[in-house]
Amino acid sequence: MSGILGSFSLDGKVAVVTGASSGLGVAFATGLAEAGADIAICARRVEKLEETKARVEALGRRCVAVEADVSNPEDCSRFINEAVTGLGKVDVLINNAGIATAVPATREAPEEFSKVMDINVNGSYFMAQAFARNISESGGSIVNIGSVLGSTTAYLPQAAYSASKAAIIGLTRDLAQQWTARKKIRVNALAPGFFESEMTDQYPDGYLESMMIRVPAGRKGESHELVAAAIFLASDASSYVTGVLLPVDGGLLTT
């Protein structure tokens, strides 16, 4: 396929997806495989990771699965090295791994706050570093997974999570200005709104439904809608897009 539609294809590319053992991570891995990419995935839960690998391979794509903790820079380097060894190169990074807490600020322990920051912020940075050190001269694309909670609140006590996702915005902009020209790596971020995931399963019953009054679209997002946005940012279709935060939120940030 050529022309405008062809620019959305990931044929011949290798996409790296972190936190690919469940939820949106699985959706990213399989969605990018459907778009033509071979996939390298990592997570801490090995059995779940193998399930994702099987799904990718069922789509006719190659897949490398590696147990890794993104908050450990050595794990990040090892994962990217194994991806290059197994698949020949890396072209796209989806920095999806993340955790959340919902603890009142006066009761949140320092180690709870630090764990969220270690995985959500440090993990994204360490993985981006490892990716950039292994990119070819043709460049690539990094898509950081942020959140609308980096720009607004969710009426829940989520200081650590909100702080981490605000940090992702700054990280995205700075890496874009460092790497777009020098390394030909475009760096962008997605800001998902309300999507069902393992993370939202922790919320009180009826919480997501009660938040729909804030969403002009009047509904929760579907995973394929977020994956489509990731494919756009990962592909040549967004070749002149870098350093941006793209909300996929049904209009939440407009209210």
Q: Which residues are catalytic?
A: 161
Residue 131: is it exposed, middle or buried by C-beta count within 10 angstroms (0-12/13-18/19+)? buried
* Total Cβ atoms within 10 A of residue 88: 11
